[in-house]
Structures are given as structure tokens and as C-alpha cells.
Chains A and B, each alone.
Chain A
Amino acid sequence: MSGTARTGASGAAVIAAFLRRDFREALTYKFSFISSVTGILLSSATFYFVAKLVPPGTPSLGPFGGDYFSFAVVGVAFAGLLGMFQEGLAAVVRSAQLSGTLEALLVTPVPVPVILFGSSLYSLLFQLVRTALHLGVALAFFGLALGRINAPGVLAVGVLTVVCFLSVGVLSASFILVYKTGNPFSWIMGTVSGLLGGVVFPVALLPPWIRWISSLLPVTYALDGMRKSLLASATFADVLPDVAALAAFAALLLPASLVAFRLAVRKAKKDGTLAHY
């Protein structure tokens, strides 16, 4: 039987196999989607009522259309998506270490970056659907006030944001491959970004002595650019500073993350801890 013809699965077929695997597994958890949708409805309702405490025309909301509910919903919906981009890769590595599947994946001829990307794609797409659903629910039931949407701005900010946050995700995954837990990138980019990145309140409200930290976080520019493009009818020129800042972060983070990942795989193989947890 030796010599079975292998057709050589393309990268797309391999990625599709990961998606099919995760979709099949997700189908076995029947209440996951229902609880997810319920969470979105409750989150939107919470911000709808909190927004009633914030009078329209609050100066700090001016650059984002002036409506607090829309400001908060866009922040929360996109922060969830960005969180998945930055933590999804590390989460799949950790999950495969803990479940014991990592070793079986790593002995296949599929390159490690493809395994990493393929394993996290379902979660990323699911989170993308959740974000769209979040905005859809807010638009349909709670009066999300969209402005004249600046499509080029959304596209430029979106693409650069994905590159930045996927790079942070690769850095996180590299850390998890070597040190297994205690990922500092997740803490810095998750917890700190939640407070200082302007997710549920404008960065302008922060005291000046701490506001400078916000300027070091890509999430600040991602949310700023996205809100202006979606809510405030901003032109591409208006979001250019955000696009430039995100491009600079991407230029720094992408090569750094690729180098870190290569070094992490090598170190884990050297230490013999590639599949340890």
C-alpha cells in the first residue's frame, strides 16, 4: 500500500479543514451561539440606558458624532474584535497545549504559521460575525446613529488595525509557546487598552498626565479612526493621522512579531517543550 498518491492539499484546503473542524466542534456546543447573541442584546441595552445619563452634545463626544450610545457600542463591538485578533492566536496555542493536540499538529508537514492561523481563523470569523451582529442589533433596536460612512477610511483603518493586532497576537503566541502562561502582551494590550484606549469613554476625558500613554496604544487610533469614519461623516483626510499612526505601529510590530515567533519555535524545540503545558 506504500505510495498512496497524495494530491498535495493547497493552503486553502488546509485552512478549510481547520474551519470545518472548528465548525463541527462548535455544532456540538449547542448553546454557545444563543448565549453569545443574548450577551450582545444585554450589552447593547446596558449602554442604551447608560447613554441616557450623558446629555447629547457633550463636548468630548463632538468629534465622534455627539451620541454616547453610538460611541460606546462602536467601541465595545470593535474592542471585542481587536481582543480576539490579539489574543486568539495565543489562545489556540494554549488550548492545543492543554488539550494535547499540538504535538499531533506539529508532526504534520503543514508549516507552523499556517497551523496557527488556521486554528484561530474560526474564532476570528465568529468574532467578526459577533461585531456585525452587535452593530446590527444596535442599529435595528437601539438607534445607533451612523453618519455618512467613509468607506476608504473604514477600509484603511480596518486593514492596518488587523495587521497591528494580528502582530500582537503573534507576539502573544510566541510568548505562550515558550513560557506557557502569564502573557504580558495580553495584559498590556487588553487590560490597559480597555482603560486608556477609549473603549467606553473618550480619551480626552483622561487627565493629561496619563493621556500620553493612550497615544502609545494602537487601539486608541483604531477606535478613533473607526468612530470618525462610521459616526462623524469624517473624510479620509480627517482620519489620516490615525491611518499614519496605525501604519507606523504595523511597520514596527509585524517584522518584530515574525522574528519573535521564529525564535520562540526554535527555543521551544531546543528546550523540548514545544507541546508542554
Chain B
Amino acid sequence: MSGSPVLVAESLVKRYPVFRGFRELILRPFDRRRVTALDGLDLEVGRGRVFCLLGPNGAGKTTLIKILATLVLPDNGRASVAGHDVAREPGPAKNAVGYAVSDERSFYWRLTGRQNLEFFGTLYGLVGPARSRRVDELLRLAGLEGSADLRFNGYSTGMRQMLAFARALLADAAILLVDEPTRSLDPQAADRIRSFLRGELAGRQGKTILWATHDLGEAADCADDIAVISRGRIRLCGPAASLAAGGRTSLRQVYEQAVSESEEKP
């Protein structure tokens, strides 16, 4: 990894309460069972790197991203963003990252793309002509200038994803958190998103990107660094150039080995 770390997780632990029905609440009222999402996870992401986080479903990728985005509090350990502890200084930590909430329901469907960005722009501290300029700039960057004044409910899935990136970039934070950005996109739309993240945001703008994905090819093609997370811990971490040196096939081998070892030796 090159560059000083701007995303740091140290011995991060997160356990969620297990949902219990009425029967269990009555029979075992003091039972406090928990499911472990992160189990002492350590991670460092260097400035300006594209860091892909690979892992099976339930491995802890989304929990890690939500902790870094200040939406979830860790139980133990610490996490920091650009030097700001996410639990102790959530305000500065929020200012330091853009979290691309990719759920399309996170927009106001009856407003236009521009109106959505103007609203969120104000929440990110932009007002007046500065906000208008920034919104125009981001709509252009996302290739949405022609559909800026259409209602969001008329956007395709790919356009919605691009608007989610535009929203995450409103504050122009140097760090971007993205969680499965190409999920449910067709191959061409997925390629456009990858080249936007890798080429424009990381390449041209120099942003640090923590990118959770299930797609090994995506990680092999786009990442500077790759980590495999399984059962709440990083099982393997290193430069993409060495982990995916033999292309997607070799990355699949190391990924499968890391995951299966974590299942044998939790």
C-alpha cells in the first residue's frame, strides 16, 4: 500500500442483537444472543488508493462501510476517517467522506435529479451560486445533464446509480465509500460505472475509494489494493498487482482459498 492511511480500522468488533420472537422473549427474557459481523477487523487504506473489499454475503463488508460512514457504532476497537474517530468525532468524519448510498429509494422520486442534488447540496453546506455550479458540474460529470430536469422516477437503474455518485461527490470529500455499485446493472452500465470510479474519480481526481464488491473481475480490473473479508476479519490483503497477477482466475483461487480457510479456522 502506498500513501498515508486515510481509512483505518483497528480491532474493530461489531455484534448485532439477534431478532427474537414473542415465544423466545417470554421463555428466555434475559437471553442476549448476538451475531458477529466484525470480529477484530484491522484495515488501512492509503490516500489515493482504490481499495476493493471482497467477501461472501454476510462477511461484514457493509457493516464496515456503515461504521466508517458513522451510521453504525462499533462495540469495540476504533475506526477513523482522515484522522477523525468515527465514534467520537462523527461530524468531521462525515465531512471527510462521501458515502454513495446506492439504494435507489434513498432519493425523492417525485423530484427531478437536479432538485434532489440541490436539496442534498444544501445539507452538505452548499448554497446560492456555489451550489448551482456544483450541481451543474456533477450532473455533467455523471452524464446526466440531459436528464437533469426529469423526475427521478423516470431514471433508469444506471442513471440512478450515477446520481447516487453525484450526490456522494457534492461535498467533494477526498474519500468515497461505495457498496456494490454495479449490483443489478447491465454489463454496459456496469462498465460505465467502473470506468467512472476508476478513471474519473480515482485517476483524474485522486480520490481514495473503498469499494465493496462481489465481482472478482471488477476488483482485478479496478483495484490498487484488494482485501478478502470473511467472518468479520480480513483474511488476505495486498496489492492487486500481486493478488490478481494472473488475472481473474488467479484472484478467484486466492479468494476461494482465503474464504475456505476462514471457514475451517474461524
Interface positions of A (Cβ within 8 A of B): 1-10, 13-14, 16-18, 20-21, 24-25, 28, 99-101, 103-110, 266, 269-272, 274-275
Contacts and interface: CB of A to CB of B under 8 A. Distances in A.
Contacts of A271: 16-17
A69 B118 CA distance: 47
Given A25-B110, A266-B73, A17 B123 contact: yes
A274 B118 CA distance: 25
A18 B126 CA distance: 14
A7 B172 contact: no
Question: Which 6 A-B residue pairs are closest in the complex by CB-CB distance?
Answer: A100-B105, A17-B122, A104-B106, A108-B123, A4-B172, A6-B125
Given A21-B119, A271-B16, A271-B17, A107 B63 contact: no
B175 to A, nearest CB: 10
A6 B71 contact: no
B125 A109 contact: yes
B126 A21 contact: no
B108 A21 contact: yes
B123 A105 contact: yes
Contact of B206 (A2, A4, A9, A24): A2
Tell me which of A1, A18, A107, A274 has the highest count of chain B C-beta atoms within 10 A of its own C-beta.
A107
Interface residues of B, number: 46
Contact of A109 (B91, B101, B118, B128): B91
Contacts of B95: 109
Interface of B: 14, 16-17, 37, 63, 66, 69-73, 75, 91, 94-95, 99, 101, 103-108, 110-111, 115, 118-120, 122-128, 130, 134, 137, 167, 171-172, 174, 205-207
A180 B94 CA distance: 25
A209 B231 CA distance: 61
Contacts of A110: 123
A103 B63 contact: no
Tell me which of A3, A4, A10, A24 has the highest count of chain B C-beta atoms within 10 A of its own C-beta.
A4
Nearest to B177: A107
Contacts of A17: 118-119, 122-123
